[in-house]
Amino acid sequence: MINSKMWLVVQPTIGIPLFLGGVAVGSFAVHLAIVSNTSWVGDFLSGKEMGSSKHASIEAPIQPASLPLAEAKVYPASSDEMIVVLPDGRMGKAVLKTPLALGSTSSTN
């Protein structure tokens, strides 16, 4: 044992419970931080499907000219929305709209 002389200063009946208590407190703090700082944990624990939460919506603007769409992965989010995951990890939401009829003067944004 490399640190065997430590037990000459700290008794094992005090040092071991203190060490295990510190590990338990640290583990609890990490788990509490994960639960309180993420939106998907509550959905996961209640059995909801991934992406069903209002917090899961992705509102990042996407520049169409800069997207390497041949390498992007696309996942359906709903009937008129898709989640696009680019190779570099960036994510975006594509909203599908029906095309306007030719000659139509109305436009929706």
User: What number is the average pLDDT over the span 40-48?
Assistant: 81
Spatial neighbors of 9 by CB under 8 A, at least 6 apart, are none
pLDDT recorded at residue 100:
61
Spatial neighbors of 42 by CB under 8 A, at least 6 apart, are 35, 53
Residue found under tokens 């295990």 = 20
Domain positions in the chain: 1-37, 53-98
Q: What is the pLDDT of residues 58-93, one digit of tens each?
A: 555 555 555 555 566 666 666 778 787 777 778 888
Residue found under tokens 């992705």 = 58
